[in-house]
A and B are shown apart, each in its own frame.
Chain A
Amino acid sequence: MIPRGVRGAARAAAAAAVAACLAAGAGPALAQGCAMCGTAVGEAADPLARSISASVLFMVSMPFVLFVSVAGWLVARHRSARKEESSR
């Protein structure tokens, strides 16, 4: 009999594989972006297209910047606290 933990891990791996296959197949559809933006923007050289792209990149990057900054700060604080404790 397969242990429960192994069965759960196998199921998670299978779900991840299916999701990866679906994402790979949907590549062209995802590359279009949202339908409204695709209709409104038109060509990549258009100032509106460039502005929207810059704005979207800026807004998308900010949560990642925040997450990495806060996580880095927490890790640094915990490491320094552990170092202080071990030096006592």
Chain B
Amino acid sequence: MDAAMPRQAARPREGSSPSPRFGGGSGAPPRPPAVTNARVAIVMLIAAETMFFTGLLGAYVVLRGTAVAWPPPGQPRLPLAVTWANTAVLALSCWTMTRAWRALHRKDARLLVVSLTQTAVLGSAFLAVQGTEWVRLIGHGLTLTASLYGATFYTLIGVHGLHVAAAVAWLVAAAALSRGSRFTLRRAASVDVCAIYWYFVCGLWAVLFPLVYLS
């Protein structure tokens, strides 16, 4: 490749300043990009996930709108009090995630690890409560094949639960990566995109909870 390049272009004459048109620069440090690659990637993932949930919600709207009774006779109502408490747990996890993000920008490694761990614990608590809720609902006869009511409920809430589980695993990995006193760009990016994904998962619940439980 070097042989193919003209020698004059590769090595500027002494005394002459290199032209910025042909690269090389003036020795100034490269400016950071306005949007990092990691952020573009997570935004693309979130856009794809949003369209996936849009499809599920579109089907839910049609099935719900055409049902004579919702929930159908003989099917249990969804537990509201426990789910309100679970929503509060998820909202609290958003606050701990914000604290982790601030710690990241202040380069406070200890607070970052603590906040990420707290967020992961709160996310796990959300999943555990939802799991016990599901066991009770199945005991009352609300199964995936019992009715469209059960099928849509388990599909929507189950897929969201899977996303929360994936986000919790990511949080644990980000907390493990953040251990240690030194901050690297790669570590910061992993926490940054993890936080964005966590906010997405919490925001999704803010749409699903009123639509599935409250309406």
Contact = CB atoms under 8 A, between A and B. Distances in A.
Contact of B34 (A47, A51, A59, A81): A81
Contacts of A82: 34
A53 B113 CA distance: 47
**A55, A63, A77 interface centre (most CB from chain B within 10 Å):** A55
Interface stretch (B56-64, B89-97, B121-129): B56-64
A54 B61 contact: yes
Contacts of B34: 77-78, 80-82
Nearest to B34: A81
Interface in A33-79: 47-48, 50-52, 54-56, 58-59, 62-63, 66, 70, 73-74, 77-78
Contacts of A74: 35
Interface residues of B, number: 19
A74 B47 CA distance: 14
B51 A63 contact: yes
Given A66-B47, A66-B50, 7 more contacts: A48-B62, A54-B61, A55-B59, A62-B54, A66-B51, A73-B43, A81-B33
B24 to A, nearest CB: 20
A80 B32 CA distance: 13
16 contacts: A48-B62, A50-B65, A51-B61, A51-B66, A55-B59, A55-B65, A59-B54, A59-B55, A62-B50, A62-B54, A63-B51, A66-B50, A73-B43, A80-B34, A81-B33, A81-B34
Interface of A: 47-48, 50-52, 54-56, 58-59, 62-63, 66, 70, 73-74, 77-78, 80-82, 85
Nearest to B43: A70
Contact of A51 (B43, B51, B57, B65): B65
Given A62-B50, A70-B43, A73-B43, A55 B62 contact: yes
Nearest to B57: A58
B88 to A, nearest CB: 27
Contacts of A66: 47, 50-51
Contacts of B13: none
B65 A62 contact: no
A52 B62 contact: yes
Contacts of B54: 58-59, 62
